[in-house]
């Protein structure tokens, strides 16, 4: 079956710039949904605000396009009231980790069963190229015309420390890996974080002279390496990709169910 069945054609053409990495994520994600054979009625996609968050409009699931930074909080309400649904929450790096940083760590801490996808282009695309908490030191942005003095987050370390029970990273260059990892993340029972390094040629690429989409994707290929690879041992500056954390821990909705059982017995 074609992945077209998951798309709302009426919504197209999409709003992303040519070469934007967000479309690659959309494609790879739909392939994961297809491979898993999920029923469209069982999927709820909740997103925030940003170029990345527009992804929810293009897919034929139950879709909730919310407010900037709060997608995980809305998703928590959906999941807690209908725990059998599959929650997929795509977010931009600013959406997830600046304005939404608090919701991000608390959702991870609860280990509530949903898949958080951080589409990390290291910039605020939608508002025109301001620096994000993922830009990193030295980067140029429309609000860092000299250079950015903020240190960046490491999403993998942050999610791990906050308690996420599935943590992975890949890039838009590694399309097959996105699909593979998302399949794992969606089937994992608990809070899954998948960082997908993505390109914003319009702002990040232009400001930082990284070239167009193709050059930016090649850079992601060159700057990353599989977890624990020989290349990484030789060059620790490389960014590792793959699945960093996958562990079992009681999931939040299941734990709440135990509270219900206890409360009902006590009556």
Partner 1 sequence: MSDIDTGSQEAGDRGKTLESGMPSSEIKFIQGNEVCVEAALYAGLDFFAGYPITPSTEIAEHLSARLPQAGKTFIQMEDEIASICAIIGASLTGHKVMTATSGPGFSLMQEALGYAVMTEIPSVIVNVQRGGPSTGLPTHASQGDVNQARWGTHGDHAIITLTASNHQDVFSITVDAFNLAETYRTPVILLFDEVVGHMREKVIIPAPGQLPLVERLRTSVREGIDYHPYLPREDGRLPMSDFGGVHRYNVTGLVHDMWGFPSGNPQVVQGLLRHLVDKINNNAREIARYKTYFTEDADCMLVSYGSSARSALHVVMNRRQRGEKLGLLELQTLWPFPAHVVRDVCARAEYVVVVEMNMGQVLEQVKLAVDKAQKVFLANRIDGVFINPTDIRNILRLIQGKGV
Ligand X SMILES: Cc1ncc(C[n+]2csc(CCOP(=O)(O)OP(=O)(O)O)c2C)c(N)n1
Instruction: Point out which residues bind partner 1 (CB under 8 A).
Output: 8, 10-11, 40-42, 44, 46, 56-57, 60-67, 70, 73-82, 84-85, 102-103, 106, 256, 259-260, 262-264, 266-267
Among 58-66, 125-133, 232-240, 255-263, which window interacts with ligand X (CB under 6 A)? 125-133
- The encoded tokens of residue 205 equal 């690429």
Nearer to partner 1, 43 or 181 (CB): 43
Report the partner that residue 266 touches, choosing among ligand X, ligand SF4, partner 1, none (CB closer than 5 to 8 A by kind). partner 1
Query: Phi and psi dihedrals of 240, rounded to 5?
Result: -85, 145
Q: For residue 113, what is the DSSP state?
A: S
Rg of the chain over all Cα atoms, to the nearest angstrom: 18
Q: For residue 209, what is the DSSP state?
A: T
Q: Please identify which residue in 35, 60, 73, 127 interacts with ligand X, judged by CB under 6 A.
A: 127
CB 123 within 8 A of CB 129: yes
Among 15-23, 41-49, 231-239, 242-250, which window interacts with ligand SF4 (CB under 6 A)? 15-23
Q: Per-residue contact track with ligand X, 84 to 123, x per CB under 6 A?
A: --------xxxx-----------------------x-x-x
Scanning the structure block, which residue is given the tokens 């739909």? 30
The residue among 22, 11, 13, 12 whose CA lies nearest residue 202 is 22
């Amino acid at each position: 079956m074609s992945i077209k069945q998951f798309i709302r054609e009426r919504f197209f053409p999409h709003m992303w710039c040519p070469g934007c990495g967000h479309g690659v994520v959309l494609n790879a994600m739909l392939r994961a949904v297809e491979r898993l054979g999920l029923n469209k009625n069982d999927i709820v996609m909740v997103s925030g605000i940003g170029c990345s968050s527009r992804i929810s409009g293009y897919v034929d699931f139950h879709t909730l396009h919310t407010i900037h930074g709060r997608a995980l909080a809305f998703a928590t309400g959906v999941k807690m009231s209908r725990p059998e649904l599959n929650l997929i929450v795509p977010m931009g790096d600013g959406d997830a980790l600046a304005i939404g940083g608090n919701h991000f760590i608390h959702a991870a801490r609860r280990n509530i069963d949903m898949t958080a996808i951080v589409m990390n282009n290291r910039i605020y695309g939608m508002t025109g190229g301001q620096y994000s908490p993922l830009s990193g030191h030295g980067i140029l942005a429309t609000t860092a015309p000299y250079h950015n003095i903020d240190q960046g987050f490491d999403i993998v370390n942050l999610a791990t420390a906050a308690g996420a029970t599935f943590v992975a990273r890949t890039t838009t260059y590694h399309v097959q890996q996105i699909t593979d990892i998302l399949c794992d993340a969606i089937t994992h029972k608990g809070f899954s974080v998948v960082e997908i390094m993505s390109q914003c040629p319009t702002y990040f690429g232009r400001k930082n002279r990284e070239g167009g989409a193709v050059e930016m994707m090649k850079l992601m290929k060159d700057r990353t390496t599989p977890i624990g690879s020989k290349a990484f041992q030789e060059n620790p500056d490389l960014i590792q990709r793959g699945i960093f954390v996958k562990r079992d821990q009681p999931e939040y909705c299941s734990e709440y169910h135990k509270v219900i059982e206890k409360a009902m017995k006590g009556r």
